[in-house]
Structure 1
Amino acid sequence: MPSLKTILVNANDESHRMLRAQVMECISFVMMAVGKDNFGDDAKQVMEVLMSIQGSQMETDDPTTVYILKAWARFFECLGKDFLPYMSVVMPPLLHSVQLKLDVTIYFADSESDDDERMPFITLRSLRCGIKTSVVEEKTIACQLLCDYVHDLKEDFHPWIDQATQALVPLLKLRCHEELWVAAISTLPKMLRSAKVAVEKGIAQGLNSK
């Protein structure tokens, strides 16, 4: 673990971005394997590094973003309720990924483009609509992780329900990518149940509360 933490802290060059991302993945899998009781102080130290990396200025094509989202989810799975204090750090970038603007390119159906091999296309009558895959993948992963958080936290997710709902509702109209649409639509009922339980337990106010 010391070697992995050293790489995580020091692999800051652009050429080392993927290495750092894979180290994040490795550390989070190790923690899941050994459990929080055996991970000791390493968990807090690693999460502090992740917060530092997350707070830095990252390029839009930096793979670290998605790897951090996934690493947080694994830490959450391992720590359970003990992870709650970190949710205020996790949620803003997660919701940012959910709300990423899709990079859509439109061509006439009979035209050719250099992008043909780099993004999937949907043909609509005389037009071809291409969507940048990396953005769709990040949005999809973010929605899936959001769904997991809501499911596991239940009423404890209530502080973020309003923001998450605002991020997800626009995706219900997005039928051009089924996996993303399913991830979004699957999360909303869970948030409704979360809100219901939070109100029933008195930790959140209902619409009719004063």
Structure 2
Amino acid sequence: MLEDAALGALGSLAESAMDEFWPFYGIVMPYLKFTVVTAKADSDYLLVANSLKCIAVIAVVVGKSMFYADVDDVVRDLILLQESNSGNDGTVRGYLLQAWGGVCRSLGVDFLAYLSVSVPQLIQSAKRIDYLTDDVDSDDKRRSIILKEKFLACNTIGCFAAHINRGLHMWIKEVVDAVLPLINFKLDERVRIAVATGNLSFGVSLSWIVSSILINSSKDVYTDTQIHTQAHTNIYWNIAI
């Protein structure tokens, strides 16, 4: 618990410090990579995932040129985490999805090389329907974790679309199949907004994916999506300004 809190604080500090954090990268990154190694040895997948998420946050802050030397190690750990016994833990996968998004933001178009190992996980998480099962329906916490995972998957797809330009074209059918049913997802507004607007935290849109969805949706669905999208867009720009 203490380590998780420390990782969260470190990531927040890096985001706040921005350029001023650069001189500390060489000190912090070896520690974080060591944390990943020891957590893997202890099969502490949650700590592994949280450490990788923190690394990805810092990678965004310092940029591609500084992060590039560590990319292969980080991606290797992300892949191992995906393939680990943490497959049923939505919290771990939530951190994993955010880490993929951070690495993509840091690398930009150079992230194309890693689409084949990251996109399938995003699609799998976006398409989860096990929140409908009886045992989950009676467990609010577990259901909340699954719905958050769906939201993060859609959010990260938006991140990929924004930062690698049209690099997702090879996955367009799979992506649309995953997000299309969620344009009017009634159980979590965050999912609907993520699908309709891509990733608002980056101020970009996934319109090239969802425009046809909105056009072909019923008038009520379109109007509802417009209202919520405009509201969240206004919130984003007010904060950004």
Q: What TM-score do the two structures reach when normalised by structure 2?
A: 0.63
- Structure 1 residue matching 2:165: 3-state secondary structure: helix
Q: Deviations over 1:79-113 (max 9, x none)?
A: 1111110011110001000000142378xxxxxxx
> Which residue of 2 is the match for residue 133 of structure 1?
144
Among candidates 178, 181, 189, match of residue 207 of structure 2 = 189
Among candidates 150, 153, 160, match of residue 161 of structure 2 = 150
Contiguous gaps of at least 5 residues in structure 2: 1-28, 199-205, 212-241
**Runs of 4 or more above 4 Å deviation:** none
Instruction: Give the conservation status (yes or no) of the 8 Å contact 1:28–1:74.
Output: yes
Distance in structure 2 (CA, Å) of the matches to 1:18 and 1:55 = 14
C-alpha deviation, 1:62, in angstroms: 5.2
Q: Does 1:66 align with 2:94?
A: yes
> Which residue of 2 is the match for residue 205 of structure 1?
none
What amino acid is aligned across from residue 42 of structure 1 in structure 2? D
Output the aligned Cα RMSD. Answer: 2.5
Instruction: Give the conservation status (yes or no) of the 8 Å contact 1:147–1:190.
Output: no
Q: Deviations over 1:105-153 (max 9, x none)?
A: 78xxxxxxx95xx629xxxxxxxxxx81111100011111112222333
- Higher gyration radius (CA): 1
C-alpha deviation, 1:26, in angstroms: 1.8
Instruction: Give the conservation status (yes or no) of the 8 Å contact 1:174–1:181.
Output: yes
Deviates more, 1:150-159 or 1:79-88: 150-159
Q: Does 1:178 align with 2:189?
A: yes
- Structure 2 residue matching 1:58: 3-state secondary structure: coil
What amino acid is aligned across from residue 99 of structure 1 in structure 2? K
Among candidates 98, 107, 119, match of residue 140 of structure 2 = 119
Distance in structure 1 (CA, Å) of the matches to 2:91 and 2:185 = 24
What amino acid is aligned across from residue 35 of structure 2 in structure 1? I
- Structure 2 residue matching 1:63: 3-state secondary structure: helix
**Change over 3 Å in CA distance of 1:181–1:102 after alignment to 2:** farther
Instruction: Give the conservation status (yes or no) of the 8 Å contact 1:98–1:139.
Output: yes
- Structure 2 residue matching 1:103: 3-state secondary structure: helix
Distance in structure 1 (CA, Å) of the matches to 2:59 and 2:196 = 31
Instruction: Give the conservation status (yes or no) of the 8 Å contact 2:94–2:149.
Output: yes
C-alpha deviation, 1:32, in angstroms: 1.9
Among candidates 178, 190, 193, match of residue 167 of structure 1 = 178
Distance in structure 2 (CA, Å) of the matches to 1:190 and 1:3 = 40
**Change over 3 Å in CA distance of 1:82–1:154 after alignment to 2:** closer
Instruction: Give the conservation status (yes or no) of the 8 Å contact 1:150–1:190.
Output: no
- Structure 2 residue matching 1:175: 3-state secondary structure: coil
Q: Which has the higher helix share?
A: 2
Distance in structure 1 (CA, Å) of the matches to 2:152 and 2:69 = 28
Distance in structure 1 (CA, Å) of the matches to 2:99 and 2:147 = 19
Q: Which has the higher strand share?
A: 1
What amino acid is aligned across from residue 190 of structure 1 in structure 2? W
> Which residue of 2 is the match for residue 89 of structure 1?
117
**Change over 3 Å in CA distance of 1:40–1:153 after alignment to 2:** closer
- Structure 2 residue matching 1:45: 3-state secondary structure: helix
- Structure 2 residue matching 1:73: 3-state secondary structure: helix
The number of aligned residues is: 173
Identity of aligned residues (%): 29
Distance in structure 1 (CA, Å) of the matches to 2:160 and 2:67 = 22
C-alpha deviation, 1:67, in angstroms: 1.1
Contiguous gaps of at least 5 residues in structure 1: 107-113, 121-130, 194-210
